Amino acid sequence: MEGRKLQLAGGSTYLVSLPKRWVLNAGLKAGDTLFVDTEPDGAVSVRPHASEKAAAHRKILHEKGVEAREHLLRKFIGAYISGFGLIEVRFPPDRGPFVRRVAREFCRLVIGPEVIEENRNMLVIQDLSDPSELSSEKCLRRMHLTVRAMLEDAILALKKSDATLAHDVVLRDQDVDRLFWMVSKQYYLAHITPSSVTNGSGIRAVPGQRLVAMLLERIGDHAHRIAAAYPTIAEGKTLDPKLAKEFEEAEVSAVAILDKAFGALISGDIDAANEAIDAREHHQKLIDALSHRVATRKGEELLALGAVVDSLGRAASYSADIAEQAINLSILLDKDSP
C-alpha cells in the first residue's frame, strides 16, 4: 500500500493521482470515465468499468421423500438467512405437492422470496428483497413499534376479555419473526459481501443490531405468551380488578423501559440507556408483588397467571439488555474517540 497526497483544485474539487501501472493495465487514457463506489466501511473503490450486479448465489436442497414439514422449512429459512438469492429444491415427483406447500408457506413467512420456477421434480425460489430498501435500522424501528404494541394489547385483551385482540397479538408475532430473519440475513451478507448492505450506522454496527433484533424478537415472543394465556385467564370471565390494575402497571413499566432503551439506541444517548437499566429495579418490585398475588391461585389458572407475570418481567429484562447494547454501540461508533 502506498500513500498519495490529496490535492485541492479550483477551491472545491479534490484530486488524487492514480498509479500509472493500474491505468495502463486497465487500458485507460486521459478523458476516459471512471466509476467510483463508496463502500459501507468508508473505503472508496475506483473501477474502469461500471460494476454489474453480482449474480445471486444458489443453494441446492434435496428432499428425498422423508423430510418432515418443520425440517424442510428450517432448511429454507437457513438458506434465506445465509444470503442465498436462489434456493433450488429437488424432490421425487410424488413429493411435489408437499414440497410446493412448504415452499409457499416459507414465502409467506419471510420477506422477499417468491417461487419463480417449478416442474415435476424441482422448484426455484428467488429472494427479491433489496437490503438497501429495508435496512437493519428500518427493521429494528418496525420491530420496536410492533412489540411495544403487542405488549400493550396483550394485557388489554386480558383486562377487557377481548379474544379477537388476543388472537391478533399472536398473529403479529409472525411479523416480528419476518423482520428478525431479515436483520439476520443482513448480518450474514455484511460478512460475505459488505458492499451489498446499506446501513446508515456503518458496517461495524451490524452485529450489534442483530443482537438487538434478537432481543426484540424475544420480547415479541413474551407478548405472544401473554396473549396465549387468554383462554385460561379471561375467556368467559372478568379479570380481578386489582390484578388487572397491577398487570397494567407492570406493562406500562416494561414498555417505558423498552421505549427509553430503544430511544437511547437510536440517539446514542448513554445517559438515557443508563436510566432504562436503572428502571429495571423498580420494575422488579412490581413483578415481585404480582408473583405474591398470583401465588394463591391454583391449577391451570396459577400456571397461566405465572406465565404472564414471568413474561412481563422478562420483557423488561430484555429491554434493559437493549439499553446495554445501546451503550456499547454508542461507544463503538463515537467518531470523536481517538
Q: Look at residue 322 in the predicted model and tell me its pLDDT.
A: 97
Q: How far apart are CA 53 and CA 30, in angstroms?
A: 27
- Residue 54, pLDDT > 80, answer no
Q: How far apart are CA 266 and CA 144, in angstroms?
A: 11
Q: How far apart are CA 186 and CA 196, in angstroms?
A: 9
DSSP state of 94: G
pTM of the full predicted structure? 0.80
Q: Look at residue 338 in the predicted model and tell me its pLDDT.
A: 41
Q: Look at residue 286 in the predicted model and tell me its pLDDT.
A: 97
Of these ranges, 1-5, 69-73, 126-130, the one predicted with the greatest mean pLDDT is 69-73
Q: How far apart are CA 155 and CA 301, in angstroms?
A: 16
DSSP string covering 271-332: HHHHHHHHHHHHHHHHHHHHHHHHTT--HHHHHHHHHHHHHHHHHHHHHHHHHHHHHHHHHH
Q: Average pLDDT, whole number, for the chain? A: 88
Q: How far apart are CA 65 and CA 124, in angstroms?
A: 18
Q: What is the pLDDT of residues 155-205, one digit of tens each?
A: 999 999 999 999 999 999 999 999 999 999 988 887 766 555 555 555 667
Hunting for cell 472508496 — which residue is that? 44
Q: Under a CB-based contact definition with an 8 Å cutoff, are residues 34 and 48 in contact?
A: yes
Query: 1.20.58.220, 3.40.640.10, 3.90.550.10, 3.40.50.2020: which CATH number matches 136-332?
Result: 1.20.58.220
DSSP string covering 157-209: HHHHT-HHHHHHHHHHHHHHHHHHHHHHHHHHHHHH-GGG---TT-GGGHHHH
pLDDT > 70 fraction of the chain, expressed in percent and rounded = 90
Q: How far apart are CA 136 and CA 205, in angstroms?
A: 10
- If residue 24 lies in a helix (H) or strand (E), which one and from where to where? helix 20-25
Q: What is the pLDDT of residues 284-308, one digit of tens each?
A: 999 999 999 999 899 999 999 999 9
- Residue 41, pLDDT > 60, answer no
Q: Tell the CATH topology of 58-127.
A: Translation Initiation Factor IF3 (3.30.110)
Backbone angles phi, psi at 131, to 5 degrees: -55, -30
Every domain of the chain and the residues it spans: 7-47, 58-127, 136-332
Q: What is the pLDDT of residues 138-158, one digit of tens each?
A: 999 999 999 999 999 999 999
Residue type (1 letter), 42: G
- Grade residue 83 by pLDDT with cuts at 50, 70 and 90: confident
> Which residue in 63, 68, 73 sits closest to 177, CA to CA?
73
